Chains A and B, each alone.
Chain A
Amino acid sequence: MKDFSQLRKNLKKDFSGFKSLKVAILGDTSTQFLSQAIRGEGFDAELDLQIWEADFNQIEMQVFNSDSEMYAFQPDIIVLFLSSHKLLNKYNKLKVEQQSSLATREIENIEAIVANISSNSTAKIIYYNYNEIDDAVFGSYATKTETSFLYQLRKLNFELMHIANRTTNFYICDLATIQNQVGKANFFHTSVYISTEMVLSLNVLPLVAQKTVDILSVLNGKLKKCVILDLDNTVWGGIIGDDGIENVQIGSLGIGKAFTEFQYWIKKLKNRGIIVAVCSKNTESIAKEPFEKHPDMVLRLEDISVFIANWENKADNIRDIQRILNIGFDSMVFLDDNPFERNLVRENISGITVPELPEDPAEYLEYLYTLNLFETNSFSDEDKERTKLYQIEAQRTVTKQKFTNEDDFLKSLDMISVVASFTKFNIPRVAQLSQRSNQFNLRTVRYTESDIENLAKSNEYATFAFTLEDKFGDNGLIAVVVLKKNSETDLFIESWFMSCRVLKRGMENFMLNTLTAYAKANGFERIIGEYIPTPKNEIVKNHYQNLGFEQENDFWFLPLKAYKERTNYITLKSHE
């Protein structure tokens, strides 16, 4: 999020080509910075907001006089900011017997303002509701006391929602929620208020501006219609292909809670008309299993409009989803725990929103709440039926298109792999990977930590552990090969397994280059591989064939003499 100085710097930028909207801003406190922040925030939303600002405390004068400057400006939007502070000042001056009618009288005033604007203009109204101030005169007893300020303020906020609910052109910008998020100490800056008559702190201005511009964008037709979900470690904890349906984390225990609550959120979005799609690197039948069979899943297949699970590039898959749904990329939100996938999608699909989900799944929801991604300007019965419509549409469309510039993309990643033999530092992770890898695992040999230690010591074996890092971050240790010295000429690949997180990155080619270099340097003449099928490792069925090995009976052979380095874009960084 940009701070206020950065938003102000936006003011000097080129707004040409952006949709222009006329916005009148009226407040009972100083709105100068707010106006600047809103225009600056508009730049990032590609809106050229032409702002007319009333001199402060002129609301009634501008609204009730049909010849006023404000009406002459012919605004598309009128932003009204009557502050809690001024409301408190008003309350302070009331006689005790008038205090209990503060909210009612304010509502009457607001209704009169709305009526006047509606008869003089077609402008839509954005009204800032009241951030709470507790004057602590009654303590918690204020909630039982109609004459207390807090009671009146809350009543006013509630009644405002009634007005919004029945008035088409009246929208509330929910300042109260912003204060809940940041806390009053951050929302209101006393010395700034005393010096300038501004009731919003500089630190909160960007949030208020953003929430205002969110509404403006939506009124202008820019809204999110679809959320695309990754599955493993996004919708549930763990990796379904490796861990199996009985071991993924959802439900009421531990971190499972976080995923369950996340799913409820998605379900609510779906019920309010957001299309839910799935885009996962998985075998389709395995990915669908929890939706069909897991008792704790909140989301079910009927909630998902388009379900894509395969091993293709996610950018391609999202393009397919877009073709099926026929909505703009800028109306899509992609949620994925994996920074690599997020960046791939972000870099290849312009317009799509890809939130930087926090590392800890427990924080997903709290973070997503702050983004206000699903601002809307309507809600109807049709919204609830949308999912079904798109499901039918999805069945019609079965197209796949290849990502066109994959090489360029891989090059741009600046990938680095550290290769090491097994050491006491990487042994625990090597063992873990050997236990967890089910899909990309050629022979599915499981090693314990002490097995790994023995391999490391043995002269009959050569061991390789690979990490992968790119400009976006470090994936850590993601692949392992164990070579057995069968004879002076033959190396046998006893194990080759890899985390599915790094599929399609050219890692296989890089690894084979590493193995052949080792083999040649040590006088070996060929490398022998074997694929042992399991219910889960079908994705590596053609692994050795793809790498140029030749099959004889159940084994795959690679003569080293004729071996040509395989193309990849990963730089070797040797360890030890």
Chain B
Amino acid sequence: MEREQILKDINAIFIDILDNEDIVLTNETTAADVDGWDSLTHIQLVVAFENHFGIRFTTMEIQGWENVGAIVACISSKC
């Protein structure tokens, strides 16, 4: 799957889960840049990605992402 499309999809998931229409993600976005992206909502996001793309992440993957680009790369490697 194209990385650009993945970024679009996860942007929509961020908007839904964090209930914030204004979120615009780039590959460089980190948790510090997004209001409400904390350790608990992170889990919601992770599960939403899994359900949306029909994939599972390993525990190490979830804990290892530095920014949105890393999430996109990880998803891209699975679908």
Q: Which residues of B contact A201 (CB under 8 A)?
A: 47
Q: Compute how far the CA of A420 lies from the CA of B74 in the bound complex, rounded to whole angstroms.
A: 55
Tell me, rounded to whole Å, the shortest Cβ–Cβ distance linking A66 to chain B: 32
The answer to whether A196 and B40 touch across the interface, beta carbons within 8 angstroms, is yes
Q: Which residues of B contact A194 (CB under 8 A)?
A: 59
Answer whether residue A405 sits at the interface, using C-beta atoms and an 8 A cutoff. Answer: no
Q: Which residues of B contact A130 (CB under 8 A)?
A: none
* Interface contact tally, CB-CB below 8 A: 39
Contacting chain B: which of A185-193, A241-249, A439-447?
A185-193
Tell me, rounded to whole Å, the shortest Cβ–Cβ distance linking A203 to chain B: 7
The answer to whether B40 and A5 touch across the interface, beta carbons within 8 angstroms, is no
Q: Which residues of A contact B47 (CB under 8 A)?
A: 4, 189, 192, 201-203
The answer to whether B19 and A9 touch across the interface, beta carbons within 8 angstroms, is yes
Tell me, rounded to whole Å, the shortest Cβ–Cβ distance linking A114 to chain B: 32
Answer whether residue B11 sits at the interface, using C-beta atoms and an 8 A cutoff. Answer: no
Answer whether residue B24 sits at the interface, using C-beta atoms and an 8 A cutoff. Answer: no
Answer whether residue B63 sits at the interface, using C-beta atoms and an 8 A cutoff. Answer: yes
Q: Mark A19-57, 1 if CB is under 8 A from B, else 0.
A: 000000000000011000000000000000000000000
Q: Mark A153-195, 1 if CB is under 8 A from B, else 0.
A: 0000000000000000000000000000000000001111011
Answer whether residue B77 sits at the interface, using C-beta atoms and an 8 A cutoff. Answer: no
Q: Mark B35-65, 1 if CB is under 8 A from A, else 0.
A: 0000110011011100100001111001100
Q: Compute how far the CA of A5 lies from the CA of B48 in the bound complex, rounded to whole angstroms.
A: 9
Q: Which residues of A contact B56 (CB under 8 A)?
A: 191
Q: Compute how far the CA of A9 lies from the CA of B20 in the bound complex, rounded to whole angstroms.
A: 12
Q: Compute how far the CA of A563 lies from the CA of B54 in the bound complex, rounded to whole angstroms.
A: 61
The answer to whether A32 and B40 touch across the interface, beta carbons within 8 angstroms, is yes
Q: Compute how far the CA of A32 lies from the CA of B16 in the bound complex, rounded to whole angstroms.
A: 20
The answer to whether A191 and B40 touch across the interface, beta carbons within 8 angstroms, is no
Identify which of A9, A32, A192 gathers the most chain B CB atoms within 10 Å of its CB. Answer: A192
Answer whether residue B31 sits at the interface, using C-beta atoms and an 8 A cutoff. Answer: no
Q: Which residues from 5 to 27 on chain B have a C-beta closer than 8 Å to any C-beta of chain A?
A: 16-17, 19
For the complex, count residues of B whose C-beta is within 8 A of A.
17
Q: What DSSP secondary structure best describes chain A's contact surface?
A: helix
Q: Which residues of B contact A8 (CB under 8 A)?
A: 44
Q: Compute how far the CA of A8 lies from the CA of B44 in the bound complex, rounded to whole angstroms.
A: 11
Q: What DSSP secondary structure best describes chain B's contact surface?
A: helix
Q: Compute how far the CA of A5 lies from the CA of B49 in the bound complex, rounded to whole angstroms.
A: 13
The answer to whether A202 and B16 touch across the interface, beta carbons within 8 angstroms, is no
Tell me, rounded to whole Å, the shortest Cβ–Cβ distance linking A185 to chain B: 10
The answer to whether A203 and B51 touch across the interface, beta carbons within 8 angstroms, is yes
The answer to whether B59 and A191 touch across the interface, beta carbons within 8 angstroms, is yes
Q: Which residues of B contact A5 (CB under 8 A)?
A: 16-17, 44, 48
Q: Compute how far the CA of A498 lies from the CA of B47 in the bound complex, rounded to whole angstroms.
A: 50
Q: Compute how far the CA of A196 lies from the CA of B58 in the bound complex, rounded to whole angstroms.
A: 14
Q: Compute how far the CA of A191 lies from the CA of B62 in the bound complex, rounded to whole angstroms.
A: 8
Identify which of A5, A189, A190, A192 gathers the most chain B CB atoms within 10 Å of its CB. Answer: A5
Q: Which residues of B contact A198 (CB under 8 A)?
A: 43
Q: Which residues of A contact B16 (CB under 8 A)?
A: 5
> Of B39, B43, B62, B63, which contacts A202 at CB under 8 A?
B43
The answer to whether B39 and A196 touch across the interface, beta carbons within 8 angstroms, is yes
Q: Which residues of A contact B39 (CB under 8 A)?
A: 195-196
Q: Which residues of B contact A190 (CB under 8 A)?
A: 59
Tell me, rounded to whole Å, the shortest Cβ–Cβ distance linking A169 to chain B: 33
Beyond A33-B40, A203-B47, is A195–B62 a contact (Cβ under 8 Å)?
yes
Q: Compute how far the CA of A32 lies from the CA of B48 in the bound complex, rounded to whole angstroms.
A: 18
The answer to whether B44 and A202 touch across the interface, beta carbons within 8 angstroms, is yes
The answer to whether A191 and B17 touch across the interface, beta carbons within 8 angstroms, is no
The answer to whether A4 and B44 touch across the interface, beta carbons within 8 angstroms, is yes
> Of A9, A12, A195, which contacts B43 at CB under 8 A?
A195
Tell me, rounded to whole Å, the shortest Cβ–Cβ distance linking B19 to chain A: 7
Tell me, rounded to whole Å, the shortest Cβ–Cβ distance linking B48 to chain A: 7
Tell me, rounded to whole Å, the shortest Cβ–Cβ distance linking B3 to chain A: 23
What residue in chain A is nearest B16 (Cβ atoms)?
Answer: A5
Q: Compute how far the CA of A194 lies from the CA of B47 in the bound complex, rounded to whole angstroms.
A: 14
Q: Which residues from 31 to 88 on chain A have a C-beta closer than 8 Å to any C-beta of chain B?
A: 32-33
Q: Compute how far the CA of A160 lies from the CA of B76 in the bound complex, rounded to whole angstroms.
A: 47
The answer to whether B63 and A195 touch across the interface, beta carbons within 8 angstroms, is yes
The answer to whether A191 and B58 touch across the interface, beta carbons within 8 angstroms, is yes
Q: Which residues of A contact B19 (CB under 8 A)?
A: 9, 12
The answer to whether B57 and A191 touch across the interface, beta carbons within 8 angstroms, is yes
Q: Which residues of A contact B63 (CB under 8 A)?
A: 195
Tell me, rounded to whole Å, the shortest Cβ–Cβ distance linking B24 to chain A: 20
Q: Which 6 A-B pairs have the closest CB atoms?
A: A191-B59, A202-B47, A194-B59, A5-B17, A191-B62, A196-B43
User: Would you list 7 pairs from A and B whose C-beta atoms are within 8 A, ordered by A residue?
Assistant: A5-B48, A33-B40, A191-B46, A191-B59, A192-B43, A201-B47, A202-B44
Given contact pairs A192-B47, A195-B62, enumerate 10 new A-B contacts (beta carbons under 8 Å). A5-B17, A5-B48, A12-B19, A33-B43, A191-B57, A191-B58, A191-B62, A195-B39, A201-B47, A202-B43
Please report B residues at the A interface, Cβ cutoff 8 Å.
16-17, 19, 39-40, 43-44, 46-48, 51, 56-59, 62-63
